[in-house]
């Protein structure tokens, strides 16, 4: 299972929110590169980078942060937040993203998102499927749709999607454990899916359980920043 630390960006700074609420913003480091280098020094290979300014603005904003991290580290970066157009996508890949995550665009403009999958391939384009009360939420989680998450994922798997990052918004930033039931439900419907868990990871035991569920990866944010999980523990895991 891939271990994927997360950096969320507002104004170029490394922050974390709770349940996607911007009013709960907590700054952990003014220098996102310093954080990324700590991850790399600990032997981690991946990074989940989220442009929270972009998610709110509905277009890519912090591409220079992406570029800096891609140039100054060897981390494989999956990037999301505010990617709504072909131009946003081009900027993200040219700035060094290894993979792109599309969430709101997949829900609101499936024709464009599907064209990205066709053009760039399923190794490059990941589906963001974030749930609030079992329904897809978009626009930085500020807007809830009527689309059931399992069916939403199934429809995109039929179009070729392999990788899905899924967050249960109620769990995000709360350090109360991931949504094991949600992931179990998704994998029951789509057994071969490369599913990446996000939100709620608070301990190594959580990672052991997710691995037992045969998830592709687990994204970890606040648990690292709050000292609940040490980078040395992740290296051993």
In the predicted model, is pLDDT for residue 176 greater than 60? yes
Work out the average pLDDT over 12-33: 90
pLDDT-derived band at 236 (thresholds 50, 70, 90) equals confident
Which of the 8 DSSP states describes residue 168?
B
pLDDT for 141 beyond 60: no
Our count of domains for the chain comes to 1
What pLDDT shows up at residue 52? Answer: 92
Catalytic residue among 8, 51, 53, 172: 8
Give the pLDDT confidence score for residue 211 in this predicted structure. Answer: 97
Contact 122, 101 (CB under 8 A): no
By CB atoms closer than 10 A (0-12, 13-18, 19+), residue 157 is middle
**Out of 51, 53, 130, 172, which one is annotated catalytic?**
130
Let me know if 130 is a catalytic residue: yes
pLDDT, residue 28, reads 94
Written as six digits, the tokens of 167 are 């967050």
- Provide the mean pLDDT of the chain: 93
CA distances (Å), origin 201, targets 75, 110, 162, 190, 198 = 21, 30, 23, 23, 7
Q: How far is CA 191 from CA 160, 183, 208, in A?
A: 14, 11, 19
Domain that holds residue 152: 2-236
Tens digits of per-residue pLDDT, 58-109? Answer: 999 999 999 999 999 999 999 999 999 999 999 999 999 999 999 989 999 9
CATH of the domain at 219: 3.20.20.70
Q: Which residues contact 151 (CB under 8 A, 6 or more apart)?
A: none
Q: In the annotation, is 41 catalytic?
A: no
How far apart (Å, rounded) are the C-alpha atoms in residues 97 and 51? 12
Instruction: Record the pTM.
Output: 0.93
Work out the percent of the chain whose per-residue pLDDT is above 70: 97
Return d(Cα 175, Cα 173) in angstroms, integer.
6
Residue 171 has pLDDT above 80, yes or no: no
């Amino acid at each position: 299972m891939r271990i994927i630390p997360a950096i969320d960006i507002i104004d170029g700074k490394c922050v974390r929110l709770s349940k996607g609420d911007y009013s709960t913003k907590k700054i952990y480091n003014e220098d996102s590169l310093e954080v990324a280098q700590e991850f790399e020094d600990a032997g981690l290979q991946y990074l989940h980078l989220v442009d929270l300014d972009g998610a709110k603005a509905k277009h890519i904003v912090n591409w220079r942060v992406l570029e800096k991290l891609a140039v100054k580290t060897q981390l494989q970066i999956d990037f999301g937040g505010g990617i709504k157009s072909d131009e946003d996508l081009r900027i993200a890949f040219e700035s060094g993203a290894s993979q792109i995550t599309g969430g709101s665009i997949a829900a609101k403009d499936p024709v464009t998102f599907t064209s990205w999958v066709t053009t760039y391939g399923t190794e490059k384009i990941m589906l963001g499927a974030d749930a609030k009360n079992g329904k897809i939420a978009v626009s930085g989680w500020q807007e809830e749709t009527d689309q059931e998450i399992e069916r939403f994922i199934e429809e995109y798997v039929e179009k070729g999607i392999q990788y899905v990052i899924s967050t249960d918004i109620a769990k995000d930033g709360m350090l109360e454990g991931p949504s094991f039931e949600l992931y179990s439900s998704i994998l029951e419907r789509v057994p071969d899916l490369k599913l990446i868990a996000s939100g709620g990871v608070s301990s190594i035991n959580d990672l052991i359980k997710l691995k037992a569920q045969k998830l592709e990866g687990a994204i970890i944010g606040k648990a690292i920043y709050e000292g609940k999980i040490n980078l040395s523990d992740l290296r051993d895991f």
